[in-house]
Amino acid sequence: MRRVAAVFAGPVMTLAGINHFVMPQAYASIVPDWLPAPMGLVYISGLGEIVGGLGTMHPRTRRAAGWLLIVALVAVFPGNIYIEQRRGLSGRPRGAVEPHRASSLPGTLHLLGLAGDAERERRAFKATAATHPLRA
């Protein structure tokens, strides 16, 4: 299951990031009022998701990209809660949180696990390469 998640995380996050540039107003509308420059934050988070998503697709950059995505997802998580609590766009009572918005926190935790797995793989490869008989 982790392998499937690792394969799909890159394209999904890259497309999500691109969507920040295609529909910026939709994302700006969920930036909490107390944060400055909503459009700037939308573009920064979109760029982070694109770079992170693309980075997860290459073994050399997977670990750093995983951490970048974790930071990006944690940073945008308050917006997911904010839109549900303040604007009630889901049709649910104010203060209720839609399951797909709340699921971004478990998704972030899952990406944290993937980043840890990538680091363990990197260390194992490095240790194997250092002791390999063909290494000069």
The predicted model scores a pTM of 0.65
pLDDT by residue, tens only, the chain of 136 residues: 456 556 778 898 899 999 999 999 988 988 888 889 999 999 999 999 999 999 988 888 888 888 888 888 888 888 877 776 765 555 555 544 454 454 555 665 666 666 666 666 667 667 666 665 665 4
Per the domain annotation, does 136 fall within a domain?
Answer: no
pLDDT of residue 23: 94
Per the domain annotation, does 99 fall within a domain?
Answer: yes
Per the domain annotation, does 50 fall within a domain?
Answer: yes
pLDDT of residue 97: 47
Q: Which residues contact 98 (CB under 8 A, 6 or more apart)?
A: 84, 90, 92
Per the domain annotation, does 81 fall within a domain?
Answer: yes
Instruction: Write out the residue range of the structural domain in which residue 69 sits.
Output: 2-131
Per the domain annotation, does 38 fall within a domain?
Answer: yes
**Domain count of the fold of the chain:** 1
